[in-house]
Amino acid sequence: MSDDEKKAPASGLRKGLTSYGDAGFSLFLRKAFIKAAGFSDDALDRPIIGITNTFSDFNPCHGNVPRLIEAVKRGVMLAGGLPMEFPTISIHESFSNPTSMFLRNLMAMETEEMVRAQPMDAVVMIGGCDKTVPAQLMAAASADIPAIQLITGPMLVGHHKGEVLGACTDCRRLWAQHRAGEIDEAEIEAVSERLAPTQGTCMVMGTASTMGCLVEGMGIALSGTGTIPATHADRIRSAEASGRQAVALAKAGTRPTQILGKAAFHNAMVVLQAIGGSTNAVVHLAAIAGRLGFDFDLEELDRLGRDVPVLIDLKPSGAHYMEHFHWAGGMPALLRELRNHLILEAPTVDGVTLGEVITRAEDVPGQNIIRTRDNPLKSGGATAVLRGNLAPDGAIIKQSAASPELLRHTGRAVVFDSVEDMTNRIDDPDLDVRADDILVLRNAGPKGAPGMPEAGYLPIPRKLARQGVKDMVRISDARMSGTAFGTIVLHIAPEAAVGGPLGLVRDGDTISLDVETRRLDLDVAEDELARRRADFAPPPHMAGPQRGYRGLYLAEVNQAGKGCDFDFLRKDGEI
Ligand code: FES
Ligand code: MG
Q: What is the pLDDT of residue 8?
A: 57
Instruction: Return d(Cα 459, Cα 456) in angstroms, integer.
Output: 9
Q: What is the pLDDT of residue 3?
A: 56
Share of the chain above pLDDT 90, in %: 89
Superfamily of domain 46-156+198-358: Response regulator (3.40.50.2300)
CA distances from 528 to 342, 387, 458 (A): 47, 21, 28
Share of the chain above pLDDT 70, in %: 98
Cα angle: 488, vertex 410, 171; to 5 degrees: 20
Q: What is the pLDDT of residue 575?
A: 39
Scanning 426-494, the segments in alpha helix (DSSP H) are 462-466
454 lines ligand 1 (CB under 6 A): no
Q: Calculate mean pLDDT across residues 430-436.
A: 98
pLDDT above 60 for 7? no
Instruction: Return d(Cα 26, Cα 4) in angstroms, integer.
Output: 18
Q: What is the pLDDT of residue 10?
A: 80
Residues 235-282: tens digit of each pLDDT: 999 999 999 999 999 999 999 999 999 999 999 999 999 999 999 999
pLDDT band at 118 (very low <50, low <70, confident <90, very high): very high
Gap from CA of 542 to ligand 1 centroid (Å): 29
Query: Is this prediction's pTM over 0.90?
Result: yes
201 lines ligand 1 (CB under 6 A): yes
Instruction: Return d(Cα 416, Cα 427) in angstroms, integer.
Output: 12
Instruction: Return d(Cα 489, Cα 1) in angstroms, integer.
Output: 61
Q: Calculate mean pLDDT across residues 411-429.
A: 97
The answer to whether the bond into 316 is cis (omega within 30° of 0) is yes
pLDDT above 70 for 117? yes
Instruction: Return d(Cα 243, Cα 203) in angstroms, integer.
Output: 25
pLDDT above 60 for 528? yes
Q: What is the pLDDT of residue 574?
A: 45
pLDDT band at 1 (very low <50, low <70, confident <90, very high): very low
SS3 378: strand
Probe ligand 1: pick from 170, 201, 205, 454, max atoms within 8 Å of CB?
201
Which ligand has the shortest distance to the CA of 153?
A: 1
pLDDT band at 491 (very low <50, low <70, confident <90, very high): very high
Q: At what angle do helices 207-217 and 262-275 cross, to 10 degrees?
A: 140
Task: Please give the number of the atom of ligand 1 that sits closest to the Cα of 207.
Answer: 4
Residues 128-154: tens digit of each pLDDT: 999 999 999 999 999 999 999 999 999
61 lines ligand 1 (CB under 6 A): yes
133 lines ligand 1 (CB under 6 A): no
Q: What is the pLDDT of residue 361?
A: 97
Probe ligand 1: pick from 58, 129, 156, 278, max atoms within 8 Å of CB?
129
Superfamily of domain 383-541: IlvD/EDD C-terminal domain-like (3.50.30.80)
pLDDT above 70 for 523? yes
202 lines ligand 1 (CB under 6 A): yes
Gap from CA of 462 to ligand 1 centroid (Å): 27
Amino acid at 344: L
pLDDT band at 565 (very low <50, low <70, confident <90, very high): very high
Gap from CA of 62 to ligand 1 centroid (Å): 9
Q: Where are the domains of the chain?
A: 1-45, 46-156+198-358, 158-192, 383-541
Residue with the larger pLDDT of the pair 546 and 160: 160
Region of poorest pLDDT, from 14-28, 101-115, 146-160, 277-291: 14-28
Residue 159 Cα to chain centre, angstroms: 26
Instruction: Return d(Cα 201, Cα 61) in angstroms, integer.
Output: 5
Task: Please give the number of the atom of ligand 1 that sits closest to the Cα of 483.
Answer: 2
Amino acid at 415: V
CA distances from 45 to 10, 13, 18, 42, 410 (A): 12, 8, 18, 5, 68
Is residue 559 within 8 A of residue 287, CB to CB? The reply is: no
Q: What is the pLDDT of residue 545?
A: 79
The count of other CB atoms within 10 Å of the CB of residue 198 is: 17
SS3 297: coil
Gap from CA of 75 to ligand 2 centroid (Å): 31
Q: What is the pLDDT of residue 485?
A: 81
Gap from CA of 356 to ligand 2 centroid (Å): 32
254 phi and psi, to 5 degrees? -75, 120
155 lines ligand 1 (CB under 6 A): no
What are the beta bridge partners of residue 159? 164
230 lines ligand 1 (CB under 6 A): no
Residues 157-192: tens digit of each pLDDT: 999 999 999 998 888 889 888 988 899 999 999 999
DSSP assignment string, 56-91: -TT-GGGTTHHHHHHHHHHHHHHTT-EEEEEE----
